[in-house]
C-alpha cells in the first residue's frame, strides 16, 4: 500500500494544503485612507515587537469575530474629508478578501474597519511606551559602563602595552560590549515614534 505522502511524512500526520490556502497567503497591496495616529500605531507596534506590518494586519483582520463586531459598530460610518492620509500596505490576499466581504456585508467602510481594528493595539502600545522609557534609562547605565571599560582598556595599554594577552582579551570584550550598545541604541532610536504618539487621534476622523 502506497503511503499518502501529502499527509504522512516519516510517520508525522500533516493537514492537507489546498491551492486556495496557498493563494490566500500571497502578498497583495491595499490602499487605505487612515488617520496619522492609526498609521503611527501600526509602525510603533511593528518596530517595538519586531514583526512585519503584513503579519500585524493578518493578525487583526483574520480575526473574523472581532472584525464583524467592529463592522456592526461602524455601519454606515462616513469619513471626514480632511485629516486622512492615503497609505498603501502589503497584506495577505486572505486578509484583503475577508476585509472586503465584511465591508460589503455590513455596509461598513473598509478604511473605518482598519482604523477601528488598530485600536485593539492601544493596550500593547501603552505597555511598550513604559518599556521604552525604562530602556532609555538602562541605556544611560550601559553607556556609562562602556566608558568605564574604555578607560580600563587604555589603562591596560598604558601599563602592559597593546600586545599583552590581557589587552587583547579585554579589547575583545569591549568590542562585543560596544556592538551591543550600538544595537540597543539603534533599537531605541527607531522606537522614538512612540514618545509623541497620541492615542486619541485614532478614529476621530470618522462620523458615526
The pLDDT value given to residue 6: 44
- Distance set, CA 165 to CA 57, 146, 168 (Å): 53, 20, 5
CA 130, 131, 133: angle at the middle one, nearest 5? 70
Which pLDDT value is given to residue 122?
Answer: 92
- C-alpha cell recorded at residue 49: 515587537
pLDDT score at 1: 47
Residue-level pLDDT at 208: 47
Paired with 30 in beta bridges are 89
CB 61 within 8 A of CB 91: yes
* Dist CA 38 CA 44 (whole Å): 10
Per-residue pLDDT of the chain (208 residues; tens, 9 = 90+): 444 444 444 445 545 555 555 455 689 999 999 988 999 999 999 989 889 999 998 888 888 888 999 999 887 666 666 678 999 999 999 999 999 999 999 989 899 899 989 988 999 999 999 999 999 999 999 999 999 999 999 999 999 999 999 999 999 999 999 999 999 999 999 889 899 888 877 765 554 4
For residue 76, give Cα distances in angstroms to 70, 111, 117, 120, 173. 12, 12, 16, 21, 62
Please state, in angstroms and as integers, the Cα–Cα distance from residue 63 to each residue in 3, 28, 71, 96, 117, following that order: 36, 19, 12, 12, 10
Amino acid at each position: 500500500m502506497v503511503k499518502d505522502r501529502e499527509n504522512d511524512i516519516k510517520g508525522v500526520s500533516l493537514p492537507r494544503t489546498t491551492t486556495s490556502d496557498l493563494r490566500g497567503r500571497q502578498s497583495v497591496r491595499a490602499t487605505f485612507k487612515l488617520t496619522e495616529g492609526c498609521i503611527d500605531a501600526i509602525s510603533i507596534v511593528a518596530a517595538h515587537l519586531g514583526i512585519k506590518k503584513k503579519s500585524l494586519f493578518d493578525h487583526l483582520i483574520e480575526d473574523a469575530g472581532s472584525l464583524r463586531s467592529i463592522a456592526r459598530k461602524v455601519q454606515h460610518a462616513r469619513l471626514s474629508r480632511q485629516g486622512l492620509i492615503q497609505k498603501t500596505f502589503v497584506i495577505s490576499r486572505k486578509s484583503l478578501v475577508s476585509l472586503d466581504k465584511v465591508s460589503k456585508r455590513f455596509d461598513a467602510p473598509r478604511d473605518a474597519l482598519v482604523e477601528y481594528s488598530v485600536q485593539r493595539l492601544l493596550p500593547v502600545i501603552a505597555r511598550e511606551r513604559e518599556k521604552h522609557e525604562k530602556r532609555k534609562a538602562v541605556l544611560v547605565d550601559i553607556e556609562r559602563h562602556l566608558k568605564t571599560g574604555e578607560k580600563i582598556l587604555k589603562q591596560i595599554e598604558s601599563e602592559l602595552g597593546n600586545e599583552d594577552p590581557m589587552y587583547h582579551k579585554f579589547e575583545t570584550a569591549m568590542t562585543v560590549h560596544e556592538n551591543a550598545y550600538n544595537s540597543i541604541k539603534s533599537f531605541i532610536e527607531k522606537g522614538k515614534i512612540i514618545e509623541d504618539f497620541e492615542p486619541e487621534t485614532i478614529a476621530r476622523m470618522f462620523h458615526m
